Structure 1
Amino acid sequence: MTSGISKKERTHRPLLWVTLCFGGGIFLGAYVPVPFWAAYGSAAVCVIFSFVSFHKTRGFLVFIFISFILLGVIHFRMYKTLPAGHISRIAKFYYGAPVLLEGVVVSDVEQRRRGNTRKTTFRLEVKRLKGKKEWQKSRGEVLVNLFRGENILYGDYLAIEGKLHKPFNFSSDSKFSYRDYLDRKGIKYILSVKKQGRVEVLEGNHGNPFHRYVIRFKHRLSVILATHFTGAEKGIMEGFLLGDRYNIPQHINELFQMAGVVHILAISGFNVGIVAYATFLFLKMFPLGRRGHYILTILILIAYAVLTGAQPPVARATIMAAVFLAGFILEREPESVNTLACAALFILFVNPVNLFDVGFQLSFVSVLAIIVFYPKCVSVLSKLDDKAAERGKTIGAVMSVLKYIGQSFILSFCAYGGVAVMVAYYFELVTPVAILANLVVIPLSSLIVVLGLGVLLTGLVLPTATFLFADCIRVLLALMVKTVFWCVQIPGAYFRVPGTPLLVVILYYAALCVFLYFSRWKADTAIDKCNRVC
């Protein structure tokens, strides 16, 4: 079997090439000073030439792909161009001086506590501001850090006084920047408000009504979790189910990071998959018809993505699940790589800066590695299991168990191998034990998520029965943390690799691409050898 990308694959995977070109254009727009007029003019010319060469397949594809590269450049430049009156354009005139802002709270309000210190954090969509002179109209968002507890809700129209400043970079490491992190969310300035600073709620119930309802519902779910879990347990469950990681203790984060399974603590495609499966099974109890079950599952997944903040991994998994289920509704089988590319293209269209987000990169690369490598590796085990089943029930049962373990190991290996060099580059950490840890942690976390959904559901409709799920979760949480701790104690479980060059990352993925293009998978020969051993 040829593992390179054939002409057929190019035909059935158009979104893969479109997304690669569009993403490449975003990259060029960020680092190459291409004039705006040149990008527009060149894109128009390429589109015209693509129509002219429509009957010449190679020429048509070349011009189309160049057009999408230029569209990526244009889209990135337009996204980064701020309109007149934007807070980021005029904040420099008020930098470090007291300023009074009026605006609407457009995010969930986080109440954080560190020792005796309380901090209220939220995003404010600015409507106007006032320094020493008259009011001035403005637009755009700022992050508000209010250093006291305050009863503020999503949609409140506030008058708030503080000092504007740019986000601080807490580390000299150029790979991670808090300023860049906020910039990807469209925030360039922070408003710091002292304990005695003025905060006045002028009106309420502004903002999106649907978003307001989702946030209130999320708060209700958070109260249910707080009723049955405390401390680290509560923080982990909020991370698993609601996407809020700020209550997870630092030592737990570090422990899971050293074991290479820190992704388990964040809401991700893994959680979305479990929610999708559990939702579909639950809906099958109702006589809604096959299409009704699929449509409702898609709507619930979209609502869940909004509830948890729609971070790139969640958005990716939600879009892929929606496309997959839509394929069943339309009675068409979706293509995995094309579906993944569709998710990436949508996320980059909404926010092209996500291309430079570490979570976006790790999420898509790991899934792509599983899609590309896993079927090729596991095909040997599948055929070997069929041969062993012919020799008797005992051997067949043993081989089925070994097959399951082998599939899990290969899945973990493919996912880790796809992102290992990126983890080394960004986190300066290599975690070989992640392949082993995932074999235990993923099944445990799957059970925890399913039982956690049970806690939330019973907490809403039958609170007295919630303890049945909560007690089991506590045992599984303790077992999961203990397992991670034991894995980290294994010699060579992890090691630091400071200063991994970017060239190593490029060469690694270039080698994988060359391997995919030129390799020939001789599965039949491998199966024959395994049969002789058996």
Structure 2
Amino acid sequence: MSKSKIFFYSCLFFILGIGIASYLSLPLWAAFAILVVGCGFLFFGWPARNASNLPANASIALQAGLACVAGGPHQKTFIVLGLAGIFLFLGMFRFEAGTPSRDENQISFYNGEERNFVGVVAAEPDTRDKGVKLKIMTLRVTTRRAESERLENPPPTLPLEKGESSDWREVCGNVLVNARLYPVFHYGDELEIKCKLQKPEPIEDFAYDKYLAKENIYSLCYWPEIKLLASGRGNKIVAGILFVKEKLVATVNRILPEPQAAFLGGLLYGAKRGIPEDLTEKFNITGTTHIIAISGYNITILAVLLLQITKGLGIGRKKSFWVALSGILFFVILTGAAASVVRAALMGSLVLFATHVGRISKITNALLFAAAAMLIFNPKILAFDVGFQLSFAATIGLVFLSPIFEKYFSKLPSVFGVKEIFTTTMSAIVLTLPLILYNFGRISFVAPLANILILPMIPLAMAVGSVAVLGGLIYFGLGQILAWFAWLVLSYIIKAVEFLAAIPWASGAAGKIHWIFLIIFYLLISWFIWWKSEENKKLNV
């Protein structure tokens, strides 16, 4: 078996192992049994393992068994089963290792109790209409119920020495604090917080607890007393990026009216909170939410269009690749380099890699490696992050289905990129629709038309919007003049969405599908992609 195949199966079974652990609670002995069986299969199936490699005192039965397997028709099967056992175990182990133990060193241990704790704002504050959500990386917690005067005696900001301030215990873990709008806190602020810690619970059909688990948040806190202890405790690079982003947000809000300002914010740096709820719902109805949600699909469309523009300007294929890759990097910085954006950018970069390399085997391994690498850092996103699922599915569609669909829709006009936009849109829709039905039970019938009308304008909107913002940073009057062009493009997109959303049959509630149908669909689509790939190989021979 080739190294490429071994790598493919290793990544695939590692991902499956995380998936199994996400939905099933297997006992420890069962996981180790899978590992032992896998090691046994690999021992018998590995090419270097044959009778000649055994010591002279090895049993005749063992020598005969290895002689039959080594080089035989079942050798590949033994290796695959061996890799399955080992990497399924590693995937399950990684998921379990990512789940915090319930002990006094975890802040979630104190759920249900009123406590004082000290922590650092670990992400950009999420400001809403009625409050702000702060992700707090905890450092210390009181070891007994906090007295009312605790906030008057803040804890030491240096690490505690043994035997010092025994009222405080060093802890780890994150808390999502729902605080009032004022006073304003920033990334990197060290705070002392007094509140009743609560365990996240599902909200109706929304698995809110699992949604927070992917961010390693297992405790909630509502309307607490907060005292600022220090500032600048966060990562300096992240703080710098967020500072630049704040300047961009302020400039956009100054040079553009609403809802165009909020929409441009969604395009440039993923700020969806300012977009009116009714407009957000219209994006949902028309199947164009990906435009304002930072996803692998969104970034991929941007990258592909950048490639087309640079090639149209006469720039070579290799240089176009690096220009598009630089555009993705710039986009990540604009959005504040959040983990979800970095994952989406990685997906988009892989599609660029696919178009640059062109070999299916390399593309497949690159996709699986990217997914496995992201799951090593955060195994919970596989089952608990719908955005990751949709992003990965759309990327697979763009890489594998888009070339197939191009042949079926070869008669479509290429002017203004209509054919390419239609095939990429349909590829993404086919792969993401089952997940959308499984999670939301909703389908958009105008999505293909909406994307054809809107997607060609997105790069233009981002380009003129970026120029207007840069002009506004230099001189406010210049920014206002340039923003007029951005307003025209943004208004066209918004009006197109509103027009299509007003169609009575624009979308419908199809009902959530069972997970069995989800698996059946993806097995069928995998078979279809494999079948077309084999068909192309025969035609090329």
State the TM bucket, normalised to the shorter chain.
Answer: 0.7 to 0.9
The residue that corresponds to 2:134 in the other structure is 122
Shift of 1:354: 0.5
Shift of 1:19: 3.4
The letter of the residue matching 1:124 is I
The letter of the residue matching 1:61 is V
Task: Name the TM-score, length of structure 2 as normaliser.
Answer: 0.78
The answer on 1:108 being equivalent to 2:112 is no
The answer on 1:145 being equivalent to 2:178 is yes
Query: CA 1:159–1:517 in 2, change beyond 3 Å: closer, same or farther?
Result: closer
2:20 to 7, 25, 28: 28
The answer on 1:238 being equivalent to 2:288 is no
1:193-247 Cα offsets, whole Å, 9 max, x none, are 25xx3x2211222121112112212112211212212432222222211122121
Shift of 1:68: 1.4
The residue that corresponds to 2:168 in the other structure is 135
Query: CA 1:327–1:437 in 2, change beyond 3 Å: closer, same or farther?
Result: closer
| Distance (Å, rounded) in 2 between the aligned partners of 1:129 and 1:512 | 51
Which structure 2 residues correspond to residues 221-236 of structure 1 after superposition, within 5 A?
221-236=248-263
1:359 to 372, 375, 387: 387
Query: CA 1:346–1:464 in 2, change beyond 3 Å: closer, same or farther?
Result: farther
Contact 1:238 1:244 in 2 (8 A): yes
The answer on 1:429 being equivalent to 2:456 is no
Which structure 2 residues correspond to residues 430-445 of structure 1 after superposition, within 5 A?
430-445=443-458
The residue that corresponds to 2:486 in the other structure is 473
Which structure 2 segments of 5+ residues have no match? Answer: 48-74, 147-166, 537-541
Shift of 1:296: 9.1
Identity %: 24
1:254-309 Cα offsets, whole Å, 9 max, x none, are 1111111111111223553476689999999xxxx999997897677457436445
Give aligned pairs, total.
482
Contact 1:243 1:309 in 2 (8 A): no
Higher mean displacement: 15-24 or 363-372: 15-24
Which structure 2 residues correspond to residues 311-460 of structure 1 after superposition, within 5 A?
311-312=339-340, 314-318=342-346, 320-321=348-349, 324=352, 335-356=362-383, 357-379=385-407, 400-401=414-415, 404-460=417-473
Higher mean displacement: 364-373 or 49-58: 49-58
SS in structure 2 at match of 1:466: helix
Contact 1:121 1:144 in 2 (8 A): yes
Shift of 1:444: 2.0
The answer on 1:67 being equivalent to 2:86 is yes
Contact 2:421 2:455 in 1 (8 A): no
The answer on 1:265 being equivalent to 2:311 is no
Task: Name the TM-score, length of structure 1 as normaliser.
Answer: 0.79
1:130-172 Cα offsets, whole Å, 9 max, x none, are 24363232211101111241132221221122221123543x2
Query: CA 1:241–1:109 in 2, change beyond 3 Å: closer, same or farther?
Result: same
| Distance (Å, rounded) in 1 between the aligned partners of 2:510 and 2:359 | 46
Which structure 1 segments of 5+ residues have no match? Answer: 1-6, 386-398, 524-534
When the two chains are superposed, the root-mean-square deviation of aligned CA atoms in Å is 3.7
SS in structure 1 at match of 2:184: coil
1:183 to 213, 218, 233: 213
Query: CA 1:326–1:460 in 2, change beyond 3 Å: closer, same or farther?
Result: farther
The residue that corresponds to 1:87 in the other structure is 106
Query: CA 1:492–1:309 in 2, change beyond 3 Å: closer, same or farther?
Result: same
SS in structure 2 at match of 1:465: helix
1:344-399 Cα offsets, whole Å, 9 max, x none, are 112111111100111111111122123222212213565x79xxxxxxxxxxxxx6
SS in structure 1 at match of 2:186: coil
| Distance (Å, rounded) in 1 between the aligned partners of 2:321 and 2:498 | 40
Contact 1:428 1:500 in 2 (8 A): yes
Contact 1:104 1:124 in 2 (8 A): yes
Contact 2:445 2:506 in 1 (8 A): yes
The letter of the residue matching 1:125 is M
Shift of 1:251: 0.5
Contact 2:307 2:321 in 1 (8 A): yes
SS in structure 1 at match of 2:380: helix
The letter of the residue matching 2:207 is S
